[in-house]
Amino acid sequence: MRDNNGKVREDSDTDGVVYYKGPLVVLVDRFSASASEIFAAAMQDYGRALIVGEPTFGKGTVQQYRSLNRIYDQMLRPEWPALGSVQYTIQKFYRVNGGSTQRKGVTPDIIMPTGNEETETGEKFEDNALPWDSIDAAKYVKSDDLAPFGPELLKEHNARIAKDPEFQYIMKDIARFNAMKDKRNIVSLNYAQREKENNEEDALRLARINDRFKREGKPLLKKLDDLPKDYQEPDPYLDETVRIALDLAHLEKEKPAEQAAANK
């Protein structure tokens, strides 16, 4: 971390103990910010984990709260109102490679398709956001190198989502979202039009639920009100992350055998 005086403080591991040495995948999205970005960036820089999802928020600063009541003694002036607190930025934190997560965030090794636009969410769109910068890289040793697995993992990922029904829904939603880009902030005040739009959304959701039930061999629904109370929508991003983790575990398991064969 670097403070407003330019002083850099470097934190390091104090015991060197590794509690888990197996394959690791970290799922992030555009709303992953601050501490989650520190973690994801560290895992990526050390080669300890594969990062998947969306580019993150880009908050690379440290804030502190300070009470405004300190400017006067409330014991002497109990009739005066409480002034509250102010939050101000005191530091920026950096990756071990010297780069900052400020504004840029963390770019995943495998980016998944979503309907969120980069122009809508992120620290860089905040008023008076501090700029990106860098400091000298720390001295560190990578725990592993997952880069050689990247092409194969990406290939398998793309092949799966190309035929995954849930990701096909996502791609259709993205196309629909983009087609309505200029109108999405406009809400009709015409009751009949609003009712028509709501009915179309309900019909689309019912059709997708019935598609899932059909694939699972379950009875189809006639209306959304028939949906079981304990029904849970699938999470295609989490499910795909698990599949990527399995691919990574398989590749890491093969790696020692390939190295041994190469050394013969």
Q: Which residues are catalytic?
A: 34, 45, 59
d(CA 256, CA 264): 13
Q: Kindly give, in sequence order, each residue whose CB lies less than 8 Å from that of residue 98, ignoring residues fewer than 6 positions away.
A: 134, 135, 136, 137, 138
d(CA 257, CA 253): 8
d(CA 111, CA 50): 11
d(CA 12, CA 93): 14
d(CA 115, CA 14): 42
The amino acid present at 4, given as its one-letter code, is N
* Residue 50 near residue 24 (C-beta atoms within 8 A): yes
Starting at the edge strand found earlier in the chain, the sheet holding 2-3 runs 2-3, 85-92, 61-67
* C-alpha 99 chain-centroid distance: 19
What b/e sequence results for 15-28 when a residue is b if at least 16 CB atoms lie within 10 Å of its CB, and e otherwise? eeeeeeeebbbbbb
